[in-house]
Amino acid sequence: MEYTGMVHALEEIHRLLKQAGKLIDIHPVAEPSPIEIHLGEKIERVGDLSVRQWCSDYQHADEALTEIKQRGLFMIEREGMFNSLTYYDSAAEMRTDWKAAIDKFARDAQSIAESVPQAEAMAARAEELMQAAGSGAELIVGERVHISRLKPI
């Protein structure tokens, strides 16, 4: 979503909410996602996935929330962070998931040109490490997520 679209969506939410209503926003923070392979106690680091378009969108989400607070539409009552983990059965499954997400969210050719080779390389490395780890290994992609509760003013 473009920055102006985010601000417009928040304005619309302000209109749709009752006076005593609440908005709960959950979105990832703009930082690379660590990829790991877990087998029992052993943890093998595959690398970090960083898609420029995603990080840019997450940054814009933070800025849009800041703008609507500054304009006096909402105030934050509470906020926090947590880790969101996505488990994949195989590197192939992860590659398919990323490809769909990159195709969907990358809005300019430069972003795709940067992101697809990086995601492919990361998936290939994950595949090698998964095969070496043997059966029972879990492929996990982490995301740091920001959650906030806001009330309309």
Partner 1 sequence: MPYWIWRILADSMCWRSVAATGACVTWLYADKAAHVTAIDPSAKLITLARQELPSHLQDHVEFHNATFEDFATASKPSAFDIVILSWSLC
Residues binding partner 1 (CB under 8 A): 1, 5-6, 8-10, 12-13, 15-28, 54, 57-58, 60-61, 64-65, 78, 80-82, 147, 149
Calpha distance 141→7 (Å, rounded): 29
DSSP 64-90: HHHHHHHTTSEEEEEEEEEEEEEEES-
Least distance in angstroms from the C-beta of 124 to partner 1: 27
| Smallest distance, partner 1 to C-beta of residue 127, A | 25
- The structure tokens 């490809």 sit at 99
Cβ-count burial of 126 within 10 angstroms (0-12 exposed, 13-18 middle, 19+ buried)? buried
Closest CB to partner 1 among residues 24, 109: 24
DSSP state of 108: S
For partner 1, the closer CB: 40 or 81: 81
Distance in Å, CB of 5 to partner 1, minimum: 7
Closer residue to partner 1 in complex, CB, 8/45: 8
